[in-house]
Amino acid sequence: MRAGRAARVMDRIASHREGVRTFGVSAVALAALMAIVVGAGGHSAGAALRALWEGSFGDWYALTSATLVRTTPLILTGLGVTLAFRAGVWNIGAEGQLLAGAAAAAIVALGMAPSLGAGALPLALAAGAAGGAIWAGVAALLRQRYGVLEVISTIMLNFIAAYLVGYLVRGPLQEGSHIYPQSSTLAPVVQLPRLIAGSRLHWGLIAALAAAPAMWWGLAWSAAGFRVRVVGGNPDAARSAGEIDVPRVRTRAFLLSGAFAGFAGAVQLTGVTFALYEDLSPGYGFTAIAVALLARLNPLAVVPAAILFAGLESGALAMQRDAGIPSVTVSIVEGALILLALATWAGSPSAPSSFFRRSARPDGERST
């Protein structure tokens, strides 16, 4: 038993070392890709990289009020996507679940703050997590009862969630003057406190940073985490040899994944925007997929991956403003970086078989 535990620990250490190497290669690849794309557009690569750095990590305000503020929802949604993918559930609906969570949190915060005061804040955060879980539960129900692929249903639910928020901020939740398509501003008692005075950084970052090692421990060392890993790795073996209820494990992972995204929406509402409106999320739920993939579905690696993407998005605005380089250049680099990461991960022994599933050709060859 001790030998088995030691072997598992060594496997975890090897996995972390591989993750460190991956981020080192990613950093070099990022700089090279940026230089190539910017140079192809006829711009100065040095000016672009300098503006990108200054807008994301160059000074204290850029770090705390831009990059780390964007990092918080990316960590939470990235963890949600990571959990779902580890269970073999292709949840592409984190964006919709985030919006559903923000809407649920807004309803609770606006409705209960007058009577409960500061006590409405934890209820709003819990409502956000519940809203995201319920929104994911719709796709889980469609898959279990009617065989609808979650890839399709979660994409469609993203649009429904966006339209639902649009309806709410133009109808039941619209601010009192009925001029602007948004809700009323949250009372200060239901706003997350600032983590650092003079910055936009709030305590939601601490919750996100605490969630990453908690999920890592749960997946690595708990019985529930073992079932998730086995189901995601080989559902047929989990069902036959392990006698694991595969649909139940996947449904629970799906719901918890949605809860993480919904909680991210509640944190964004109570910590950043302080009001519900249609563009509350600039696509955090979609970027979270890239975060999870770059992290190779490792919850601990989600944190640096989220910081990287948050820095890229913060720096893109500065790059366009200071160097005259279109911010969409960063989107091109992000896409190329993810393709590179997937290509290198596909040949790695740590890649889950459910993610890079191989099928047999008629001639007996194997293809990815």
Residues 84-115 have pLDDT tens digits of 999 999 999 999 999 999 999 999 999 999 99
Both tokens of residue 7?
């072997």
Report pLDDT for 47: 78
Interval 331-368: pLDDT, tens: 887 787 777 777 776 666 566 665 665 443 334 444 33
Nearest to 85, CA basis, from 205, 237, 257: 257
Give the C-alpha separation, 161 to 120, whole Å.
24
- Element at 360 (helix H, strand E): strand 359-360
Of 193, 189, 191, which Cα lies nearest the Cα of 115? 189
Q: What is the pLDDT along the chain (368 residues), one digit of tens a residue?
A: 454 454 454 445 445 555 555 555 566 666 677 777 777 767 777 777 788 888 889 889 999 999 999 999 999 999 999 999 999 999 999 999 999 999 999 999 999 999 998 999 999 999 999 999 999 999 999 999 999 999 999 999 999 999 999 999 999 999 988 899 999 999 999 999 999 988 899 999 999 999 999 999 999 999 999 999 999 888 888 888 778 999 999 999 999 999 999 999 999 999 999 999 998 999 999 999 999 998 989 999 999 999 999 998 888 888 888 777 787 777 887 787 777 777 776 666 566 665 665 443 334 444 33
What does the H/E/C string look like for 235-268?
HHHHHHCCCCCHHHHHHHHHHHHHHHHHHHHHHH
**pLDDT score, position 358:** 47
In this predicted structure, what is the pLDDT of residue 139? 97
Q: What is the pLDDT of residue 43?
A: 72
Which pLDDT belongs to residue 242?
74
Whole-number CA gyration radius for the chain: 21
The share of the chain scoring above pLDDT 70, in percent, equals: 85
Q: Are 74 and 312 in contact (CB under 8 A)?
A: no
Helices H, strands E: what count in the chain?
14, 2
CATH of domain 2-348: 1.10.3470
- Size (the chain), residues: 368
Burial zone of 284 (CB within 10 Å; 0-12 exposed, 13-18 middle, 19+ buried): buried
What per-residue confidence (pLDDT) applies to 340?
76
Instruction: Considering only the C-alpha atoms of the chain, give the largest distance between any 2 of them, rounded to a whole number of Å.
Output: 70
Structure tokens at 75: 């960590």
